[in-house]
Chains A and B, each alone.
Chain A
């Protein structure tokens, strides 16, 4: 594997203009990368954290390429961003590390326009219920355990309203949880209404969800593959959280970074994308974020370091799971999802 951008594209690296305005998820960056990228290219990276796909879409619409060069986007939101004309496709296959992209992503037609890509794949994970095994003795196999009255005020969920409604859709057997019919949506709303007594809060931050699990204020949350490890750390090693892949199905995501249409520093953006594909940064990101990534060589590196079981526990060696997940996306009737959520929790 080549190391350093200058080794990959010496001529281009010398002419890059910055700063690079990076607007993406906090989990997509390793701070050491910024310094390394600057040393190699002379381009500084301005990072601002993405908040949510819909909100970010609005920001990119308003700010455009003069304010943002790269934007981080989830799964089926990527085609939405492309349809709205705020991102442009690029030739990912010309990147020298393209061969390192996992096959499941290479086959992903939903992110492709002809031979060009709308996004550079980054991470993926199923989102699964994590529960405190000391309080929930019988390992659940279905989402039904969430409605157990013994869990009153013991669940914390992420404050993503459309995803919560989609989860209710999964639980109530909706065919397409992110594109439910009126009847399915009504059933999902009713399920959430019945679940409300068990929910302590909808948290806007992952860290808060982990903290609440770690101090046993709550016993159940829905989190990505690394939830168990993070909860254990937050509890000082006291809590063993177990996960369940529910029989009704589970939601999951894959995400990536896109080039904003008309990006003022497009070349720097492409250089950054190649720079971050290096094994050391991907592996570092895996260890910090505890969820699988879309690249193969870091998995080999982890195995060589004796971390094969960690990689397995966090699904890194099981990319076939991606095809079983209900993928996060923009509901065509997102307003109805938001209303259903607001009505269910405020009744």
Chain B
């Protein structure tokens, strides 16, 4: 199995915390070479406000594809992404 890459996004800064709307930023989405992030409505997912389709967040969907280039960590204006392995 090897060592897994763990990508964490701090949702109190990005997304549900309302400070930054990921739809207007989306810098990590664009820079990621394997495009492993997913931008989606938060409806039905475990969260603060479960039934609001107007709230969007970014989920690192396929961390196994991560090349550990750390571009997303560097480009995030709010420093919300941490990557560990």
Answer yes or no: are A and B bound together in one complex. no
Listed in ascending order, the chain A residues whose CB lies under 8 Å from chain B are none
Listed in ascending order, the chain B residues whose CB lies under 8 Å from chain A are none
